Amino acid sequence: MRAVVFDNYGTFPSLAEVPRPRPGPGEVLLRVAGAGACHSDVSVYRHFEEGQPGAQKPPFVLGHENAGWVEELGQGVTHVDVGGAYLVYGPVGCGHCRKCARGQDTYCENVATMPYLAVGLGRNGGMADYMVAPAHHLVPLGDADPVLAAPLADAGLTPYHAVKQALPHLAGGGRHALVIGLGGLGQIAVQILTALTGATVIATDTKPDARARAERHGARTVAPGEHQAEEIRELTGGRGVDAAFDFVGVTPTISTAAATMAQGSRLTVVGIAGGTHEWSFFTSPYESYVTSTYWGTVEDLWEVVDMFRAGQIAPEVERYGMDDALEAYRKLEAGELSGRAVVVP
């Protein structure tokens, strides 16, 4: 079968012919319907080096945002419909620790001894004709379109988890949320904030078309610039934002977000660009939090699918055939995508 393979650190992926996988005990084989291209893949093949925290050892098939139809059940698998459409929860932990037991494989307590983090991150992912996944990581899609649903596995799940953790800060009238970076994750973050909270959503991106799309999802937008933080604070009536989400994560975006925070607010850095944040007693708002989140839980993913099926989340998808999969990554790196690129084998 054909697959998009991450061959070596610092190397752009290649399109290769690889053997079709077989499901092991407790696993299923899926015929891939769609596999989203996430900006984290760019970090995986461009920036990580061997031994660095977060680095995943090549070679493996990329694609950690997958949906497909179940083709074959591995030994011992029951209650999964052969032929049914499913979304794949990507993180794969040990399966036995207290975090894995609650469907939070992202924070597996045995991660140090695991040879991979997730499908498409250390073990073979879904940017291929077929993929293998743990059966208990499947979320049924019913009659929903698996190509449109594929981005939910990360671009939906990650902002959902980040927003859910911040909900206490957004409960009550007159609240404000800030979203920085309106790409695959950020656009869905705006939709989730609009659906789950009554907060005014303020959003920003360097690209005017990304800001225009966020406005269609109900956000008020601000263009980048020297006085951006002041402009955002003005939109809150001077009080600051109650929850900020940074889907870029460079030092300047973290600084902008930090400069807009209200007392008792929460800034969640989701972008993995490596930015840093300076804290001090008198310059940071009292009882405010700066934190990070990583992906989400299996339960979160079921809820994301519920929101998708209820029409509360609609990922904007650009379809690419397997022949054009590498072009999708080129455009993702160049910032030329408007919407999530999904490879449809």
Contact status: 208 vs ligand NAD (CB under 6 A) = no
Closest approach, Cβ 110 to ligand NAD, in A, equals 19
Nearest Cα to 158, choosing from 34, 38, 255?
38
From the list 154, 242, 246, 303, which residue makes contact with Zn ion (rule: CB under 5 A)? 154
236 contacts which partner out of Zn ion, ligand NAD, none, CB within 5 to 8 A by kind? none
Q: Does 94 bind Zn ion (CB under 5 A)?
A: yes
Query: 295 touches which of ligand NAD, Zn ion, none (CB within 5 to 8 A by kind)?
Result: ligand NAD
* Contact between 246 and Zn ion per CB under 5 A: no
Give yes or no for a contact between 2 and 60, defined as CB atoms under 8 angstroms apart: no
- Per CB under 6 A, which region of 3-11, 119-127, 268-276, 302-310 contacts ligand NAD? 268-276
The answer to whether the bond into 224 is cis (omega within 30° of 0) is no
Q: Does 229 bind Zn ion (CB under 5 A)?
A: no
The count of residues in the chain is: 345
Integer angstrom CA distances of residue 106 from 24, 64, 321: 22, 13, 30
SS (H, E, C) 57-79: CCCEECCCCEEEEEEEECCCCCC
- Return d(Cα 205, Cα 222) in angstroms, integer: 8
Q: Which does 97 bind (CB under 5 to 8 A by kind): ligand NAD, Zn ion, none?
A: Zn ion
Our finding on whether 272 is near ligand NAD (CB under 6 A) is: yes
| The entry of ligand NAD, Zn ion, none that residue 100 binds, CB within 5 to 8 Å by partner kind | Zn ion
Cα-Cα-Cα-Cα dihedral of 138, 140, 144, 149, to 10°?
-20
CB of 162: closest distance to ligand NAD in angstroms?
8
224 interacts with ligand NAD by CB under 6 A: yes
